[in-house]
């Protein structure tokens, strides 16, 4: 069992959360004995671009998006454009994959599994699509995975739509997929139960932590961070 320090960042601006990940990774590059880090966060509205593209998949103008108060950030993660906002559960593992003996493909599969098991615990069965990374409810995308690996240490991670407003996804081609439909745990529960239901973000957070430790064989310690 490896030690992983968990920090709940609450709601934090995307650039600041990215800085924390980069700082943690740089520290681990200098000292491989440092524990791995696990950050849970929700972000204010932001579009992030990946190495495979971004602005070419904006459906609305940058002026329109600025008027809506949505930030835009270029990143070094894999994948294309995506949206983060309040009501989306985001997990960022800063993990030394070499010391943990985890392959990149297995790590991605495990992050998808965390979302799958979490959704199943809430009564929503979701699935993988062999053509596209992430998790899906039929043809509707519900969760994304994107990583950056440097010196075998990961940053970025997964994002599961829990109860967020899905409207901003209609202003882009999510993940570079034209006309991709998006969904959330809350929306799927409302469809299946035919009544208004809410999903506890705290409950999602605890399930993320539980399945991360179980799937990747980590022992967790918790810290409070003042970001």
- Tens of pLDDT, residue by residue over 10-47, are 999 999 999 999 999 999 999 999 999 999 999 999 99
- Give the pLDDT of residue 114: 98
- Give the pLDDT of residue 176: 67
**Looking at residue 203, which CATH number applies to its domain?**
3.30.930.10
Q: How far apart are the first and last CA of the chain?
A: 28
- What total number of domains does the chain contain? 1
Domain, as residue range, for 79:
2-223
Q: How far is CA 207 from the centre of its chain?
A: 14
How many other β-carbons are positioned within 10 Å of the β-carbon of residue 100? 18
- Give the pLDDT of residue 95: 98
- Annotation marks residue 213 as catalytic: no
Enclosing H/E stretch for 4? strand 2-11
Nearest-CA neighbor of 175 among 149, 140, 137, 204? Answer: 140
How many other β-carbons are positioned within 10 Å of the β-carbon of residue 88? 24
- Give the pLDDT of residue 224: 59
Category of 53 on φ-ψ map: left (φ > 0), alpha (ψ -120 to 50) or beta: left
Report strand pairing: 36-42 vs 218-223: unpaired
**CA–CA separation, 156 and 16 (whole Å):** 13
Average pLDDT for consecutive 10-residue bins of the chain (227 residues)? 93 98 97 96 96 83 92 91 96 97 97 98 93 90 96 98 96 75 94 81 97 96 65
**What are the phi and psi torsion angles at 93 (to 5°)?**
-90, 125
Nearest-CA neighbor of 116 among 131, 135, 94? Answer: 135
């Amino acid at each position: 069992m490896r030690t992983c320090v968990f920090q709940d960042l609450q709601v934090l601006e995307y650039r600041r959360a990215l800085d924390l990940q980069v700082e943690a990774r740089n520290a681990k590059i200098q000292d491989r004995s440092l524990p791995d880090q696990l950050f849970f966060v929700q972000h204010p509205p932001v579009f992030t671009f990946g190495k495979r593209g971004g602005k070419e998949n904006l459906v609305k103008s940058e002026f329109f998006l600025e008027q809506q108060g949505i930030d835009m950030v270029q990143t070094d993660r894999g994948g294309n454009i995506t949206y983060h906002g309040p009501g989306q559960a985001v997990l960022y593992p800063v993990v030394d994959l070499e010391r943990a003996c985890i392959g990149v493909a297995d790590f991605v599969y495990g992050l998808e599994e965390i979302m799958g098991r979490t959704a199943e615990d809430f009564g929503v069965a979701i699935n993988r699509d062999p053509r596209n990374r992430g998790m899906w409810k039929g043809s509707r995308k519900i969760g994304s995975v994107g990583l950056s690996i440097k010196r075998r240490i990961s940053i970025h991670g997964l994002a599961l739509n829990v109860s967020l407003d899905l409207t901003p996804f209609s202003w882009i081609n999510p993940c570079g997929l034209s006309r991709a439909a998006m969904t959330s745990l809350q929306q799927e529960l409302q469809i299946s139960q035919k009544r208004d239901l809410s999903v506890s973000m705290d409950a999602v957070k605890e399930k993320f932590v539980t399945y991360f430790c179980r799937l990747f064989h980590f022992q967790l310690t918790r810290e409070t961070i003042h970001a």
